[in-house]
Structure 1
Amino acid sequence: MKLFLLSLLCLGSLTTASRYVAYIDDLTGWWDTSILEAMGVPGYTKKPHPYNVLILSFYLSNGNAADALTDKKNIYIVFFFFNYYLFDNNNRQNFNTDTQKKICNCSNPTADSFRQGLLNIYHSHGIKLLMSCFGSTDFPTSSVNAHTLGNNIATYVKTYKLDGVDIDWEDSSTFESGTGLGENWLTNLTSSIRSGLPSSDGYIITHAPQAPYFANKANYAKGAYLTVHKNVGSSINWYNLQFYNQ
């Protein structure tokens, strides 16, 4: 599970603009201003930050978010953002009404207007907001239909008016099997997501492969991400490549 800034690899059809990407997973804080600061919302951070792409982690293949109900010091960002509640094991707590009104710039805030207000603030500062799927604990390749899941992901993004999706797929064994299962599944998933989130509408699709997936290694007989890129690279805006200090 990634909790750090990733280097970017730009290939093929990708734009040349620099992308400064940060992933947001757990938030430590309680007050409205602390949560908004941790989310990198312009106007609430102690100083301007350089990130122009923020990615909310993680959407899982079962349609839920990981660790959505945590203790109150670790508020899970995906469910916080999508439901505009703060979660812990015992209760929910809305944002302060004044904060809601300020964010949505309206007198009668709703969950939708609050979310839209946050997006408007991000967008006015040139920041794109995406959600990341799967991570290191979710392995749907052998059990979930890629086309169905891709359609569900696209619907989720559109429902909550996000700018796109990041695929953090780490099911290495299906690359190592040499059957092409992982390559075909990722190809179908990406195609289905792009069908639902067309680039002509401005939607972004990124992938976050581990660096070895791009290596021409004997244990990746079907090519791993080299094959994925060959098949659907034109549907991927850029790669958030995972490097580890080992």
Structure 2
Amino acid sequence: MPEINGTVIVTGGSRGIGASISTELAGAGLHVACLSRSGELPDLQGLDEAAQRRVRAMRCDITDADSVQAAFAAVPEMFGKPVVGLVNNAGIHLQGASATFPIADFERVMTTNATSVLLASQAAYPYLCESGSSLIVNIGSFYDKLGVKGNAAYCASKAAVGAISRCLAVEWARNGIRVLNIAPGYIETDLNREELNGEALQAFLKKRIPAGGPGQAADIGRLVAMLFQLPGRFLTGETLYVDGGQGMAL
């Protein structure tokens, strides 16, 4: 892989998939600004001291335009490195019967999962243009192409992430900005480990997922890090499904 340098902003970077993305990027040589509401660092124990110094945390509410603008404006001075990437990872999952699902909850999911992607991308845009060659990776879901009971809000929000990714890829290609959407399936993290290891769900997933069970957060983190190391400018606008084959299996 070629040598890489610069700063990547990761939203929701303190826990779960975002934490894995942040540490994998730092391990690959990039500087990482981890944005989250808590403002906490992810677990860095698996990184050497040099890589740990390449990760810093910042408090940010990705649903609030002023908070996003302030955080992104501070990032270039954080390491003194150009901003070469953005990973829109932050999100929430609320579910319930569509006939009675509160519209306020639907709007909250759409704002957190989809509107924030455009908001953060707009905030990052001038910095990404300056670098001349940059990448936005959005974290969607394989639910974007499925009909899942009780998940109208989540499915809609993740379908919107894919649509936003395609539109930005087309509009911003001439600015040297590529945009990709990663759509994970069931991924085990520190946030859902207990639920996924429940006997009934574990048995279902082993049967339903061709790969034999859920993926790991590191599967997503390593893929994101790899995408930032790939040379070339022609891979853009695509959705990469990382679901162990579940979304296509009969």
TM class, shorter-chain normalised?
A: 0.3 to 0.5
- More helix per residue: 1 or 2? 2
TM-score, normalised relative to structure 2: 0.37
